[in-house]
Structure 1
Amino acid sequence: MKENLTFAWIASWFALVGQLAFFIVVALFTGEWRYVMWSLLVSLSVGVPNMIRTWQAQKKANARKIYEQGEGSV
């Protein structure tokens, strides 16, 4: 099964930055800055672990690709 790491990176960045940006816009319109505080907590608690998992999967995929290229040239 092929992993779609591009989608994983997009989802991770959206969870980390996009969600926070959305709630900053909401806070600007409503004047309720508590939205930003709560979205920051959620964004960090969801976004950071997803970024770490995606980074590890990317490292593993790159290592696998290098290993496969090395096997073919021997």
Structure 2
Amino acid sequence: MLVPRRCVFGGAEQLIALYEGLQLQALLRAELDLVAAFDRAVARFERGWMDRYEPQAARRLAMWDDDGSGSWEL
């Protein structure tokens, strides 16, 4: 069975983000079991990859705006 390229790239992006996020967590939390955390997350990803992606909300463009109060809001 052929898998659409966009699905493969989306999965790769998620795995890289997971890997980098766990590296940061390992720096901050000495008690973190990296192997167990990676295993749990990949199992959840695999279940999600089996479902067809359907956007839940319309895409919005966000921009930063300075309202003059000195704080930035999204």
Q: Quickly name the TM-score band, shorter chain normalised.
A: 0.3 to 0.5
Name whichever structure is richer in helix by fraction.
1
TM norm structure 1 = 0.39
Name whichever structure is richer in strand by fraction.
2
TM norm structure 2 = 0.39
